[in-house]
Structure 1
């Protein structure tokens, strides 16, 4: 197995894995991302996200897509892991663990304060996996999101 930075030639495969993840997360029609958008985000003049892939048997078996966040308390960046996904037939072979170890190594080498992510409450296999690594939930925090009409209303100053 090899963990390496994503390359432009990997975009189509990563996007397919993103679609596979959406199916796994019971949102099969939610992905609007295009190859052009993903390529721009990863490899454009000002990349806003980063990705590593896990390869074995000359094929990408999984990926981690992440971006930087910032801790105002710590005064340093951290990594926010947006997506971690391993093909079902490659699970249990260490790809997910290797991808997370690589992110932890990047964070440690760069002096980042943390690696964090969200997991769906029903996703027991992933929760067990994360627990086994020593990760812990942030139970005192609730994720909020503005999207669609609510986002537009706030942006326009018309929210109630």
Structure 2
């Protein structure tokens, strides 16, 4: 397996996995997520892939055809150097990490996560952050197994 920066040739695979992620979220929180949609259009994906502050990494099987990806990690580089109240640190935020349903249990997620950690260290980041929906307890267990711990909690009251 190879992990590399995503490119335009990966759009079909990214779209397929974005569909899988949306399905999980729409089943878990249909009051928030609309089934049959996805987070980014192809045009938005092209803009993201061209932005170095929004690195996207893909895991691919060696020798696989273009567009066939096993998983991805969408990231956001956040720099707080100009903040009035926060320490001047850099944070790499994992906006989305997905492993194809057919590749789960084969350590693709672990390899992607470790690659992101190495990238963040090389960029001089202070920490790595992400959000996990409460309707996805298996994702929370995975991130805790990777060594993450809660930084803050988002609460809601249904009205």
TM-score where L is the length of structure 2: 0.79
Residue in structure 2 matching 1:70, options 60, 79, 100: 79
Query: Are 1:31 and 2:38 an aligned pair?
Result: yes
Query: Residues 72-98 of structure 1: CA distance to partner in whole angstroms, max 9, x if unpaired?
Result: 433121111111000111011111111
Cα RMSD (Å): 2.0
The answer to whether the Cα contact below 8 Å between 1:63 and 1:99 also exists between their aligned partners in 2 is yes
Query: Residues 11-58 of structure 1: CA distance to partner in whole angstroms, max 9, x if unpaired?
Result: 222122112110011232342632122102212xx5552200011261
Task: Please identify the structure whose Cα radius of gyration is greater.
Answer: 1
Q: Look up the match of 2:19.
A: 19
The answer to whether the Cα contact below 8 Å between 2:22 and 2:39 also exists between their aligned partners in 1 is no
Q: Look up the match of 2:61.
A: 56
CA distance in 1, matches of 2:140, 2:105: 14
Query: Size of the alignment, in residue pairs?
Result: 141
CA distance in 2, matches of 1:109, 1:8: 25
4+ long deviations beyond 4 Å: none
Local SS of the residue matching 2:69? strand
CA distance in 2, matches of 1:119, 1:16: 21
Local SS of the residue matching 1:116? strand
The unaligned stretches of length 5 or more in structure 1 are 145-160
Q: Look up the match of 2:30.
A: none
Q: Please list, as runs of the form range in 1=range in 2, the aligned pairs for 1:75-154 lying within 5 A after superposition.
A: 75-139=88-152, 141-142=153-154
CA distance in 2, matches of 1:22, 1:98: 22
The answer to whether the Cα contact below 8 Å between 2:25 and 2:135 also exists between their aligned partners in 1 is no
TM-score where L is the length of structure 1: 0.79
The unaligned stretches of length 5 or more in structure 2 are 27-32
The answer to whether the Cα contact below 8 Å between 1:63 and 1:85 also exists between their aligned partners in 2 is yes
